Structure 1
Amino acid sequence: MRGSVNRQCWCTDPETKRAYRLGQCPKWADPGHGKWYARYDLPLEAGERCQDRLGPFDTRRQAQAAVSAAIARTRIGLVPQVPRQSVAEHVQGWVESNKARWTVSTYKDYETIWRRFIEPALGKVRLSELTREHLNRLYAAMGSTDTCALDTYARKLRRRLQEARGKTAGEAWQPSSPGRIHKVNATIKSALTQACKAGLLIHNPARYATLPRVPYRRALVWTPERAESWRRTGEKPSTVMSWTEEQAGRFLDLSQETDERDHCLFHLAITRGPRAQEMLNLKWRDLSLEGTGMVTIHGTKTPRSQRTISLGTKNVALLRHWRRTQRSECEKPGKQWTESDYVFADKNGTKMTRYQLWEKLGELAREAGLPPIRVHDLRHCAASFSLSAGTDMKVISRMLGHRNYHFTADTYVHVMPKQDEAAAEAVTRVIPRRAA
């Protein structure tokens, strides 16, 4: 197995405008002029000779050390077997190979990350040459609002990202959120982990990338004071907000008067806390409406999120009545009904979308005079109300489909105002005081 090093420069002849031949540059006598590159043989592919190229290096010694290390890795089987594959090509192959086992929304999310960030930024970077600096500059270009703070390479990356978004260089740059940057890095790290397992890499650079801090989104309850401030200024105290028991009751009362389908859906969301897509994917065969009822939820996150939980007598009664109503709707003469078996289908029998759910939630909240919350915040309501009812934390965690109850306590469960008031009064009572 052989390796070689050579020095190159790209100076041009001012008369012919062509690059000098090797060694003919007037500056060639300067040992520091140009860059050093190395080549070495790889294992034969289909009987044909294959070489890999390393560099550039500032000195001959650096190039020789690099090629010696590469030859040593080749001999013990740690060299990439597809040396000319780019990072973007590998990530694309990883995404497509996992398409069959992912949900449609998961695949679309990963494909969008590849198309908008990885392909334009790392499409020319070879998999075997990727370093943490490539990733650090990509994340700096994604998240920075100050172009002057970026180096030349990061500015080029920003232009490529802008073009991938279909925008011109003159349009305003919209930086990515820290959460989005973490998602991009997680995608790259997962794809490179597969490359390490396949023997294409000896380490995963994404593990050592410098990532921005994701601000903690503190979940808050819509107290009367916060609701009044929102009506006056239009600003939400936090991205994640939860209704009180009284506010949730007003919302359910209005939904019951408005549409039976909506009332059944939102009552299930507020009392049992399934994710939005989990509710929309529910089919009648997943339900058992005997006694307190059972529902098998096919998780949208991981296999661990699949679970079977009780519905409760109130949800059972609502679902039974809704099933009768839905059957009578589809049997109406001249009705164009799509037989889909979805529990919360629209008026034509087709599956409801997340946008329709979000739109209906906002419309009913406005009619009830309530401050706004997101569809996902209904899970926060369910967790908080369950805690107020004295439910054990492990039971709440299992209801929500979480891996452990510590995550449930840290993320979803908020202290309701009434609980806080009771705690304050209890502390006062246990302190002995001298009679006045």
Structure 2
Amino acid sequence: MTTLAFMEPEEPKKPRKAQPKTAKASAGKRNVNGEGNIRQRSNGLYEGRAYVITTDGREVRKSVYGKTWEEVHQKLTKMQADTMSGKRVASSTQTVAEYLGYWLEEHARHRVRDTTFASYNWLITKYLIPLFGKKKLTTLRPNDVRRGLFQLQQVCQCCAQGKDKAREERAAVERKKREGRPPRKNAKAIVGARCCALVPQACCRSTVSDGTVRYLHRLLRAVLQDAVSEDEILTENIAKKLRLNHKYRPKFKAWSRAEATKFLESIREDRLYALYAVALSLGLRRGEALGLRWSDVDLDDGLIRVNQALHRVDGALKLGDVKTDGSTRLIAVPKPLVSALRVHRAAQAQEKKNAGKSWQDGGYVFSTMIGTPIEPRNMNRHFDRLCEKAGVRRIRFHDLRHSCASLLYSQGVPLENIQDVLGHSSPTVTKVIYVDVAEDVTRDAVDRLGFLFGEHDEE
């Protein structure tokens, strides 16, 4: 018979007393997301990591590095404080070249005139992309921009961009076309290599001017600002804080009253005399003068309306808008200029009669001998020849606008009225950019203090 053994019931286990956390136990605790942590890497550097929010709304972990724990802790604290204040970190993986192409099509094309867009496109293609295109947009730093723009003023761009090589290649093609043909009368000489493509090489030191560097800086600053405010790819505009050591604005010496008078008297018989008279007395830009049509001119009331300009865009001459909204203006024409325009209109009517069926009537005030618009670059060359013929100091065509402002100012015309003639947004722009105060105005102003030296006795 089996005997059953009765076992004593076990006593319930007493709950274990909670032990205080030791330093070792707390050291292994995981940090809350976003709190961050610091560790020493195998190479001796310290790394701190914390969660941040990117510009596209994602939460990612970012690392900061330093030689000491304290240095990393300081960086980590700042990064966490920025995150708490709402600051976001850049998230784009685009290169600078990719964003520049995107910016041209999505931002610039819809904001600026065709001529300005063409200028932006040329500057970006020739300079900004070769300098910064391969870098990631988010890693571009002020030192990169400063070093790149400084390089443009140190390195010959003719050599760097292969301009002279391209000249020689075009010349070689032209020479091959002329092989075996008899020489043409008055044929232009084929000009190929001028410097670095010569044998032996001779660098021409064609560096970028201060004005171009300033323009590039301004353009890059505008691009990066859109990356910050419009596209929210960047958190700050590194070009905005950059200060470059270059001249703010080149100085131009406008014509004096004697030089301007001598020039107009010397070219009075030229078929485009009225064009230069308009540019010098009314301060029209080159494109505004060449885009002027007879429908914009009222010789009876002596008024000219400036509302369009002629420019070469994408290889074709086109009429477009004037530079700014303020550039659209109605200008009173002095009586001598009205007479000059009447003579010019009569001469143009005779040219139209002589051209017959070849005449292409575009209604332009200043045209070629068959009625077509004048090529702006040809205008520049024609102006240079007239300056040489008149024996006056050579200036740019645009400096006729400077000269107009300075001559008006020297005659006592208020800046507000000069502003209206030139089509500026404020008198400050007129004063800073265009008015070169004549010496006689300055001398007259300081001569009024002659009484300090007893030259003028008080009555």
* Structures share fold, TM-score greater than 0.5: yes
- Which of residues 179, 183, 188 in structure 1 aligns to 2:215? 183
Q: 1:349 aligns with which of 350, 353, 371?
A: 371
Q: Distance in 1 between matches of 2:37 and 2:151?
A: 34
Residue 278 (structure 1) aligned with residue 288 (structure 2):
yes
Could you tell me how far 1:358 is from its partner in structure 2?
1.6
Larger Rg: 2
CA distance, structure 2, for counterparts of residue 388 and residue 75 of structure 1: 56
Is the partner of 1:241 in helix, strand or coil? coil
Aligned equivalent of 1:199, options 205, 223, 232 = 232
Does 275-284 or 54-63 show the bigger shift? 54-63
Question: How many angstroms does 1:244 deviate by?
Answer: 2.4
Larger mean Cα displacement after TM superposition, 320-329 or 66-75: 66-75
* Whole-angstrom distance in 2 between the partners of 1:106 and 1:189: 16
Q: Which residue of 1 aligns with 2:313?
A: none
Letter in 2 for 1:250: K
Count residues in correspondence: 373
Equivalent residue runs for 1:120-139 within 5 Å? 120-139=130-149
Distance in 2 of aligned mates of 1:42 and 1:382: 56
Are 1:116 and 2:150 an aligned pair? no
Per the TM alignment, residue 264 of structure 1 is displaced from its structure 2 partner at its CA by 0.7
- Aligned partner of 1:359 in structure 2 is 381
What does residue 225 of structure 1 align with?
Answer: none
* Among candidates 25, 31, 49, match of residue 44 of structure 2: 31
User: CA contact under 8 A between 1:132 and 1:206: conserved in structure 2?
Assistant: yes
SS at match of 2:246: coil
Q: Residues 215 and 78 of structure 1: is their aligned pair in 2 closer, same or farther, counting only changes over 3 Å?
A: closer
Task: Letter of the 1:179 partner, please give it.
Answer: G
Which shows bigger deviation, 335-344 or 106-115? 335-344
C-alpha displacement at 1:206, in angstroms?
0.5
Match of 2:298 among 288, 292, 296: 288
Aligned residue identity for 2:104: V
Residue equivalent to 2:419 = 397
Instruction: Quote how far apart the aligned CAs of 1:142 are.
Output: 2.1
The change in CA–CA distance for 1:244 and 1:4 in structure 2 (over 3 A counts) is same
Q: CA deviation at 1:117?
A: 1.8
Q: Over residues 52-104 of structure 1, what are the superposed CA-to-partner deviations in whole Å (9 max), with x where a residue is unaligned?
A: 897895669789967994998599583446x1112222222222232244333
Partner of 2:397: 375
How far residue 384 of structure 1 moved from its aligned partner, in angstroms, is 2.2
Using the aligned pairs only, state the percent identity.
Answer: 23
Q: Which amino acid aligns with 2:215?
A: K
1:202-226: CA deviation from partner (whole Å, max 9, x where unpaired) = 11101112312316544xxxxxxxx
Look up the match of 1:94.
Answer: 103
Determine the C-alpha separation between the residues in 2 that align with 1:297 and 1:286: 8
- Alpha-carbon distance, 1:432 to partner: 4.9
Question: 1:36 touches 1:60 (CA, 8 Å); kept in 2?
Answer: no
Residue 335 of structure 2 corresponds to which residue in structure 1? 313
Distance of aligned partners of 1:307 and 1:164 in 2 relative to their CA distance in 1, 3 Å threshold: farther
Q: CA deviation at 1:400?
A: 1.4
| SS across alignment from 2:358 | coil
Structure-2 change in CA distance of 1:396 and 1:43 (3 Å): closer
Shift of the alpha carbon at 1:265? 0.5
5+ long unaligned stretches in structure 2:
1-32, 166-195, 309-320
* Distance change >3 Å, CA 84–CA 290, structure 1 → 2: same
User: What RMSD in Å do the two structures reach over aligned CA positions?
Assistant: 4.3
CA distance in 1, matches of 2:111, 2:138: 28
- In the alignment, what sits opposite 1:254? 266
Deviations 1:126-182 (A, max 9, x none): 22222212212212322346xxxxxxxxxxxx9999247677898565432332222
Distance in 1 (CA, whole Å) between partners of 2:277 and 2:304 is 15
Q: Which amino acid aligns with 2:208?
A: S
Residue-by-residue CA offset, 1:304-332 (whole Å, 9 max, x unaligned): 33322212222233223323432442343
DSSP 3-state at the match of 1:247: helix
Q: What is the CA distance between 1:374 and its match in structure 2?
A: 1.6
Code of the aligned partner of 1:182:
R
Matched-pair contact (CA < 8 Å) for 1:270–1:381: yes
Tell me the distance in 2 between the aligned counterparts of 1:273 and 1:164: 39
Task: Tell me the equivalent position of 2:27.
Answer: none
Judged with a 3 Å threshold, the aligned counterparts in structure 2 of structure 1 residues 51 and 143 are, in CA distance, closer, same or farther, namely farther
Query: Is 1:408 the counterpart of 2:440 in the alignment?
Result: no
TM value normalised by structure 1: 0.71
Q: Which residue number in structure 1 is paired with residue 279 of structure 2?
A: 269
Task: Quote how far apart the aligned CAs of 1:267 are.
Answer: 0.6
2:95 and 2:134 in contact (8 A); partners too: yes
The letter of the residue matching 1:115 is T
CA contact (8 A) 1:280 1:344 kept: yes
Residues 182-191 or 292-301, more deviating: 292-301
| Bigger mean CA deviation after superposition, 269-278 or 136-145 | 136-145
CA distance in 1, matches of 2:68, 2:253: 61
Q: CA deviation at 1:290?
A: 2.7
Deviation at 1:404, TM superposition (A): 2.0
Matching of residues 151-162 of structure 1 within 5 Å: 162=160
Alpha carbons 2:47, 2:65 under 8 Å: kept:
yes
Does the CA-based 8 Å contact 1:189-1:204 persist in structure 2?
Answer: yes
Query: Would you say the 8 A contact 2:95–2:135 is kept in 1?
Result: yes
* 8 A contact 2:362–2:371 mirrored in 1: yes
SS of the equivalent of 2:366 reads coil
Matched, 1:243 2:255: yes
Task: Give the corresponding residue for 2:244.
Answer: 211
